[in-house]
Amino acid sequence: MKIIDTHAHYDDRQFDTDRYELIERILSDNVLGFINIGCDIESSIFSSELSKKYDNVYASVGIHPGMVDETEEDYTEKLKELCKNKKVVAIGEIGLDYHYEGYDRERQIRFFREQLALAKELSLPVIIHSRDATEDTMEILRELRPEKAVMHCFSGSAEIAAELVKLGIMISFTGVLTFKNSKKAVKACEETPIEMLMLETDSPYMAPTGYRGQRCDSSMTMVTAGKLAEIKGISTEEAISICNDNAIKFFGLDFS
């Protein structure tokens, strides 16, 4: 059974040596398809172009909170233009990231709100990145209520997961779910209805247990699926099938 990776960054320079070779190999191996995620204008253009190159590759476009300082004010027009490609299936990754010192909180919040509005205008789902910013992120989500949203690379508590689900927001797990120190995420996974869960890698980052320290690629989504299956007490095939269906429905993907 092949798996969908809902979040990867094949524009990353870690793929410079073998990017297209690798993509072709994983797509003919155990990866049904993936979504390449935009973090700034350049990677959004890359994602859109990549989706035109391969049938089973989709794209998202957006400005990551860590990239707002370098982004010019006319970015929404540029993103809108990219969304004319029907294989651009989401706005993302967008959100808040207070992890590194020197971030501009007000600017991050403004970009987050503007891109949530853009997604609403274009009727596209949003992919949310939130790091060390749970309170502000939740406040904005409660206020702006995106029609369709997923919290990417979730590692928070079961309580936060429950609050997201109440807002109709999906939860997506990376290899972090397989880490020994991820008890919180495991509990959140346990308590969240499987219909609200999706799988991703965040390649080249977040390689699952067994591959830690290595470059991650979409084929490793399988490892996280195995962990999710174990947590939910179902077979890996069942977990893959349900999470694939969730992604297909949520992003409107077509692999026929």
Binding site for Zn ion (CB under 5 A): 202
The H or E element spanning position 3 is strand 3-8
CB-facing half-sphere around the CA of 61: CA atoms within 13 A? 29
Q: Is 116 helix (H, G, I), strand (E, B) or coil?
A: helix
**Least CB distance to Zn ion at residue 26 (A):** 17
Distance CA 155, CA 106 (A): 24
**Residue 155 structure tokens:** 């590692």
Distance CA 218, CA 202 (A): 8
SS (H, E, C) 22-45: HHHHHHHCCEEEEEECCCCHHHHH
**Least CB distance to Zn ion at residue 14 (A):** 13
**Least CB distance to Zn ion at residue 37 (A):** 5
User: Cis link prior to 204 (omega < 30° from 0)?
Assistant: yes
Of residues 220 and 229, the one with the C-beta less far from Zn ion: 220
Of residues 41 and 229, the one with the C-beta less far from Zn ion: 41
Q: What is the DSSP string of 127-175?
A: EEEEES-HHHHHHHHHHH--SSEEE-S--S-HHHHHHHHHTT-EEEE-G
**Least CB distance to Zn ion at residue 206 (A):** 9
**Least CB distance to Zn ion at residue 9 (A):** 6
Of residues 2 and 152, the one with the C-beta less far from Zn ion: 152
Of residues 127 and 229, the one with the C-beta less far from Zn ion: 127
Of residues 97 and 202, the one with the C-beta less far from Zn ion: 202
